[in-house]
Amino acid sequence: MDTTPGRLLADREFPGTGNASARQRGLENWPGNRFGEGATTMQAVILIGHGSLRSASGASMIRIAARLRERGVAPLVEASFLNYSRPTLAEMVEKCHAQGATTVIVQPYFLIEGTYVQQDLPALLQDVARAYPDLDFHVAPVLGDHPAMVALARRRVQEAEADAPRRRPAGLLFLAHGTPLPAANRPVYSVMQQVQVQMGFTYGQVGFLDCNEPEISQAVQQLVEDGARYILALPYFLHMGRHVREDLPGILAEVRRRYPAVTIHLARHLDYDLLLADVIAHRAAAVQEQLAAMPCRPAGVGREAACRAGRAQVVMAHWLAPSPKAQLAGSLESVETAGTLLERIGG
């Protein structure tokens, strides 16, 4: 895929499949269903997000799962949560197993490989896997710095600047959560730097809410000292949880009081967007292609003994490289309310 700075992703970079049904697109022969003659499997893709005390904050992930289901990314596609919210991962694995799944691809709905992905999720998966010895589990890479994430960040910046035209010299500020594993923040810096170059911001910084430096106020200070008189602040968060709704506006109100001569404009957080579905379709398809190419292939419930001995039941697949021919895209669809989706899926 072309990731040259300045190029905004378009449908041609994610060849569309529209909303045709799985049968219309011949998914009876999709890698998620079949591993060679006489060896039929069924794959499920389960998204897992962090969860929030504000239950509606996970609605966008549930909508993304619905879009992926419409595209036929796998025979079964569901959404689950790590904390606070339902359905849980265990509940969705139980549902998919009851529907005939033999392989589960777990897709972390996270921006980076922080502690939740590197520590909490593997521990949870090991617990869940014990109850399903006939299931194989594979974990896809996080959203990371996939080109569609750059496109989504650009989209949010463009939306914000439609309401508040840029003044120069301008700075771009990504507002990120932070993690006790600072190396995991690399994709955030990567996306920010690409957007900065592609959209012509003179300065760029990442400011962290917690765990890492610079803190948001320090990042603003650096941008002002560099010469920025206009700062576009993008909340690099997936959900409208407490941090986006309460913490970030409070912090920005304080720095605005500190720098009254500087315009600080707050963009919308990443939220719901079909570009996120593109990333996940790509990640899942890369795992599916790797599974289809494995010399030791699952054979339904009765997996071969050599296969059981040769690899772990839970496979962390962060190393998987994206596959260009796995890219998928969908068309715009009517918006479903978060409440309806949560009632339909969350119980």
How many angstroms separate the CA atoms of 170 and 177, rounded? Answer: 23
pLDDT of residue 137: 94
Q: What is the mean pLDDT of residues 145-152?
A: 98
Q: What is the DSSP string of 148-210?
A: HHHHHHHHHHHHHHHHS---SSEEEEEEE---SSGGGGHHHHHHHHHHHHHHT-SEEEEEESS
Residue 6 lies in a domain: no
Half-sphere exposure in the Cβ direction for 107 (13 Å, CA): 32
Same domain, 309 and 166: no
Residue 40 lies in a domain: yes
Position 245 confidence tier, pLDDT thresholds 50, 70, 90: confident
More confident site: 227 or 165: 227
Position 239 confidence tier, pLDDT thresholds 50, 70, 90: confident
> In what order do the strands lie in the sheet containing 314-316?
76-81, 43-49, 103-108, 136-139, 314-316
Half-sphere exposure in the Cβ direction for 202 (13 Å, CA): 16
Q: Is the pLDDT of residue 306 over 70?
A: no
pLDDT of residue 86: 85
Q: Is the pLDDT of residue 202 over 80?
A: yes
pLDDT of residue 142: 97
> In what order do the strands lie in the sheet containing 203-208?
203-208, 170-176, 230-235, 263-266
Q: What is the mean pLDDT of residues 183-194?
A: 97
Same domain, 204 and 60: no
Half-sphere exposure in the Cβ direction for 43 (13 Å, CA): 29
pLDDT of residue 97: 97
Same domain, 123 and 18: yes
Q: What is the mean pLDDT of residues 278-304?
A: 74
What mean pLDDT value characterizes the chain? 78
**What angle is formed at CA 56 by the lines to CA 50 and CA 62, rounded to 5 degrees?**
65
Half-sphere exposure in the Cβ direction for 214 (13 Å, CA): 16
pLDDT of residue 295: 67
Residue at a domain's end among 228, 245, 266: 266
pTM: 0.76
Q: Is the pLDDT of residue 313 over 70?
A: no
The CA-to-CA distance between both ends of the chain, in Å, stands at 40
Residue 73 lies in a domain: yes
With 0-12 / 13-18 / 19 or more C-beta atoms within 10 angstroms meaning exposed / middle / buried, residue 81 is buried
Same domain, 126 and 196: no
Same domain, 15 and 140: yes
Q: What is the mean pLDDT of residues 76-96?
A: 92
Residue 5 lies in a domain: no
Q: Is the pLDDT of residue 183 over 50?
A: yes
Residue at a domain's end among 241, 266, 291: 266
Same domain, 255 and 301: no
Residue 4 lies in a domain: no
Lowest mean pLDDT among 2-11, 142-151, 155-164, 229-238: 2-11
Same domain, 304 and 194: no
Same domain, 238 and 298: no
Q: What is the mean pLDDT of residues 320-344?
A: 31
Q: Which two tokens stand for residue 202?
A: 């003179």
pLDDT single digits (tens) 222-232 = 999 999 999 99
Q: In which element (H, E) is residue 305 found?
A: helix 305-310
Instruction: Give the residue from 179, 118, 115 showing the smallest Cα distance to 318.
Output: 118
Q: What is the mean pLDDT of residues 112-121?
A: 93
Same domain, 238 and 279: no
Q: What is the CATH number of the domain that holds 221?
A: 3.40.50.1400
How many angstroms separate the CA atoms of 178 and 84, rounded? Answer: 20
Q: What's the number of domains the chain is made of?
A: 2
Lowest mean pLDDT among 44-58, 60-74, 146-160, 237-251: 44-58
Q: Which two tokens stand for residue 109?
A: 């709905």
**Residue 239 catalytic?**
no
pLDDT of residue 57: 62
Residue 297 lies in a domain: yes
Write down the catalytic residue from 50, 97, 177, 243: 50
pLDDT of residue 246: 87
Q: Is the pLDDT of residue 54 over 80?
A: no
More confident site: 162 or 37: 162
Compute, in degrees rounded to 10, the torsion defined by CA atoms 29, 326, 176, 269. Answer: -80
How many angstroms separate the CA atoms of 39 and 88, rounded? Answer: 30
Same domain, 249 and 169: yes
User: What Rg, from alpha-carbon coordinates, does the chain have?
Assistant: 21
DSSP class of residue 215 equals B
Residue 214 lies in a domain: yes
Q: In which element (H, E) is residue 335 found?
A: none
CB 274 within 8 A of CB 67: yes
How many angstroms separate the CA atoms of 194 and 224, rounded? Answer: 21
Q: Is the pLDDT of residue 302 over 50?
A: no
Lowest mean pLDDT among 24-28, 92-96, 128-132, 222-226: 24-28
More confident site: 96 or 51: 96
pLDDT of residue 320: 33
Same domain, 15 and 139: yes
Residue 172's domain comprises 147-266
pLDDT of residue 106: 97
Position 237 confidence tier, pLDDT thresholds 50, 70, 90: very high
Same domain, 20 and 109: yes
How many angstroms separate the CA atoms of 76 and 229, rounded? Answer: 50
Residue at a domain's end among 227, 246, 266: 266
Residue 277 lies in a domain: yes
